[in-house]
């Protein structure tokens, strides 16, 4: 029985909180003992909609005197820039910006979907209880001063109260939620925030700073997001809950995490949930270096350090591990365009021999191959090339079309490579300085890719004058990187993503 109970707990109800001794958790159906059924997790019993799609928001803790108070920053941006109804709360009442400040949530005349709690931590538990009493849908606790400063007791009390009432809350000690075009709870003034466009990638980050930085990089790279979450102390809502929510969220195609660490056995449940997700899951882990000088009693303990375990178990379950922010951005862009696993046989098309050689090095360093093309493939290509380059182009792979190539040459070669079996992914190195290349080429190559169904990734220097070429790719779902290494990583993403 003990064993069955332990499976039961593992399958469905294991969280960082000890549920083993709580009979409440054994009321749920016996099917969860068997087979591959979904992990019901706590997210099944929580309604996340008011958190992520609120219509009415209360901002609790606004200052009547300090415009720079986090709560005021949040109130102002919600009030002025987003399609939500927002209500400021402060026990003193009064007015800010000529709007009524409500002394508590109960006084607000409408039902509140989301409460943003940005008051001092000593008031947080009372505010949370108030939210629960007044049927608020969910909360984001921005304030710090909880477990991160040693105040575990207060945090545990909040979690217990929220859990009992099935009241989902993000945080504490976080930036909270960024939902493009809908609302955000970041206490960064709107004019300071770099906002990626709406897209299909969800980012969940333990660190608010890393999240904001990733948003800058996503925006630079033209990648859109469906939701960005800073979960801070992740007291109640944790990575596993969000993974389970996001894998069913129709607005999200790729789920990316920045993780510092999991609680006991939490990683075990996380990888199993990720393996059941039909969407690619990408994880960037901080804290890879081992603590030096730790006494280890066995070879295994020394060989299987914390990060080694993390990294290899992720790979075992088909989760794509990004080793740094740069990889994370490239992987997200690639996997939001292609949900495909490749073996990694790359066909390279370039106008510069040097770029071809550099990209081969980058491919090989990742474990991708650049196979020599069959001679009949080369003959087919040669036949289609324009007469000015027919005899000077190099056709072994990389295919160097030289600086005299035109759009038609690129399209012809991309089409042939899309139909041969030697390669399973195309890498285009497009240096638009060559006079024969026009701004239409991005869109034209994307259509080849859409028609033929073989993934294509491109490198184009990201400068304003090439914008139309770049958008020709991106708007047609072909990922484009600003560097050769980035483009190679986009191909590598598909090799690493096993369940894609």
Partner 1 sequence: MLKKRVKNILESSRAAGWVLEPDAKKIFALSGIKVPEFRTAETLNKAIKAAGDIGYPVAAKVVSPQVLHKSDANGVIIGIDSDEELKNAYKHFVTLDGFECMLIEEMVDGLELIVGGKIDYQFGPVVILGLGGTSVEIYKDTSLKMAPLKENDVRSMVRSLKAHELLEGYRGSEPINMEDLISMMINFSGLLVDLRENIESIDLNPVMCSAQQCVVADARIILS
Residues that bind partner 1 (CB under 8 A): 3, 261-268, 271, 297-304, 306, 308-310, 312-313, 316-317
Helix, strand or coil, per DSSP, at residue 451? helix
- Annotate 60-74 with DSSP letters as a single string: ET--SS-TTSHHHHH
- Is 45 or 264 the residue whose CB approaches partner 1 more closely? 264
In the complex, least distance from residue 431 CB atom to partner 1, rounded to whole angstroms: 37
d(C-alpha 399, C-alpha 293), whole Å: 51
Q: Closest CB to partner 1 among 33 and 303?
A: 303
C-beta of 312 vs 440, nearer to partner 1: 312
Closest approach of partner 1 to the CB of residue 339, in Å:
22
Structure tokens at 367: 């474990």
Of residues 265 and 450, the one with the C-beta less far from partner 1:
265
Which of 206, 344, 343, 336 is closest to 283 using CA atoms? 206
Region of residue 143 (left: phi > 0; alpha: psi -120 to 50; beta: else) = beta
Nearest approach in angstroms of CB 449 to partner 1 is 31
Among candidates 261, 255, 366, 264, which has minimal Cα distance to 320? Answer: 255
Query: Residue 34 or 465: which CB sits closer to partner 1?
Result: 34
- Please report how close the Cβ of residue 311 comes to partner 1 at its closest, in angstroms: 9
Give 161-185 as a DSSP string.
HHHHTT--EE-SSS-EEEETTTEE-
| Nearest in space to 143 (alpha carbons), one of 127, 119, 167 | 119
Q: How far is the CB of 1 from partner 1 (least distance, A)?
A: 10
Cβ distance to partner 1 smaller for residue 220 or 312 = 312
Q: How far is the CB of 272 from partner 1 (least distance, A)?
A: 9
Phi/psi for 327 (5° steps) reads -65, -40
In angstroms, give the least distance from the CB of 11 to partner 1.
13
| Category of 333 on φ-ψ map: left (φ > 0), alpha (ψ -120 to 50) or beta | alpha
Closest CA to 373 of 428, 431, 416: 416
Task: Kindly state the tokens that stand for 2.
Answer: 């003990």
Least distance (Å) between residue 239 CB and partner 1: 11
Q: Which residues contact 315 (CB under 8 A, 6 or more apart)?
A: 321, 496
**Is the CB of 298 or the CB of 391 nearer to partner 1?**
298
- Residue whose token pair is 């491109």: 458
Q: How many Cα atoms sit within 13 Å of 188 on the Cβ side?
A: 19
Q: Please, is 163 exposed, middle or buried when counting C-beta atoms within 10 Å of its C-beta (0-12, 13-18, 19+)?
A: middle
Query: 426: which 2 tokens?
Result: 């195309």
Nearer to partner 1, 309 or 463 (CB): 309
Name the residue nearer to partner 1 (CB basis): 263 or 407: 263
Which of residues 192 and 299 has its CB atom nearest to partner 1 in the complex? 299
> How far apart, in whole angstroms, are the C-alpha atoms of residue 399 and residue 381?
10
Least distance between partner 1 and beta carbon 320 (Å) = 17
Phi, psi at 291, each rounded to 5° = -65, 125
Closest CA to 188 of 281, 118, 130: 118
Q: Quick one: which of 72, 54, 73, 61 has its CA closest to 111?
A: 54
Alpha helices in 227-278 (DSSP H): 239-246, 266-276
Return the number of the residue (114 or 259) whose C-beta is nearest partner 1. 259
Dihedral angle at the C-alpha atoms of 306, 341, 483, 461, nearest 10 degrees? -150
Q: Which of 308, 323 has the CB closer to partner 1?
A: 308
Minimum distance from residue 236 beta carbon to partner 1 (Å) = 19
Minimum CB separation of residue 298 from partner 1 in Å reads 4
**Smallest distance from partner 1 to CB 323, Å:** 17
DSSP 3-state of 111 = coil
């Amino acid at each position: 029985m003990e064993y069955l109970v332990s499976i039961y707990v593992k399958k469905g109800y294991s969280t960082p909180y000890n549920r083993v001794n709580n009979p409440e958790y054994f009321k749920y159906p016996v099917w969860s003992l068997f087979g591959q059924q979904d992990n019901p997790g706590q997210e099944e019993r929580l309604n996340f909609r008011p958190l992520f799609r609120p219509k009415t928001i209360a901002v609790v803790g606004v200052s009547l005197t300090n415009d720079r108070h986090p709560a005021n920053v949040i109130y102002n941006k919600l009030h002025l820039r987003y399609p939500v109804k927002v209500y400021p709360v402060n026990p003193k009442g009064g007015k800010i910006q000529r709007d009524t400040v409500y002394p508590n949530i109960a006084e607000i005349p409408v039902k509140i979907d989301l409460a943003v709690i940005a008051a001092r931590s000593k008031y947080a538990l009372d505010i949370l209880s108030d939210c629960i009493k007044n049927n608020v849908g969910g909360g984001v606790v921005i304030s710090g001063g909880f477990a991160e400063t040693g105040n575990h007791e207060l945090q545990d009390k909040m979690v217990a109260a929220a859990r009992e009432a099935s009241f989902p809350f993000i945080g504490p000690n976080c930036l909270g939620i960024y939902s493009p075009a809908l609302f955000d709870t970041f206490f960064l003034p709107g004019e300071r925030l770099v906002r990626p466009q709406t897209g299909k990638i969800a980012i969940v980050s333990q660190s608010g700073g890393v999240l904001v930085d990733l948003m800058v990089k996503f925006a630079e790279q033209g990648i859109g997001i469906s939701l960005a979450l800073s979960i801070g102390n992740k007291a109640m809502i944790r990575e596993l809950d969000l993974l389970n929510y996001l894998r069913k969220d129709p607005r999200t195609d790729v789920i990316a995490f920045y993780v510092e660490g999991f609680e006991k056995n939490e990683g075990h449940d996380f990888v199993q949930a990720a393996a059941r997700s039909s969407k690619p899951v990408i994880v960037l882990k901080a804290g890879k270096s081992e603590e030096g000088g730790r006494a280890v009693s066995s070879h295994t303990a020394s060989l299987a350090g914390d990060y080694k375990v993390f990294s290899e178990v992720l790979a075992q379950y088909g989760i794509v591990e990004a080793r740094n922010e740069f990889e994370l951005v490239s992987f997200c862009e690639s996997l939001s365009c292609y949900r495909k696993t490749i073996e990694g046989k790359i066909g390279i098309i370039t106008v510069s021999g040097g770029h071809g050689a550099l990209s081969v090095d980058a491919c090989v360093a990742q474990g991708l191959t650049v196979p020599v093309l069959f001679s009949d493939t080369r003959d087919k290509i040669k036949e289609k090339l324009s007469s000015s380059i027919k005899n000077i182009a190099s056709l072994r792979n990389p295919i160097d079309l030289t600086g005299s190539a035109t759009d038609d040459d690129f399209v012809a070669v991309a089409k042939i490579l899309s139909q041969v079996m030697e390669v399973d992914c195309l890498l285009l190195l497009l240096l638009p300085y060559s006079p024969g290349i026009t701004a239409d080429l991005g869109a034209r190559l994307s259509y080849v890719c859409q028609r033929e169904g073989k993934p294509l990734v491109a490198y184009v220097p990201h400068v304003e004058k090439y914008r139309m070429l770049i958008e020709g790719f991106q708007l047609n779902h072909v990922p484009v990187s600003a560097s050769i290494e980035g483009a190679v990583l986009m191909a590598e993403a598909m090799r690493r993503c096993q369940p894609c």
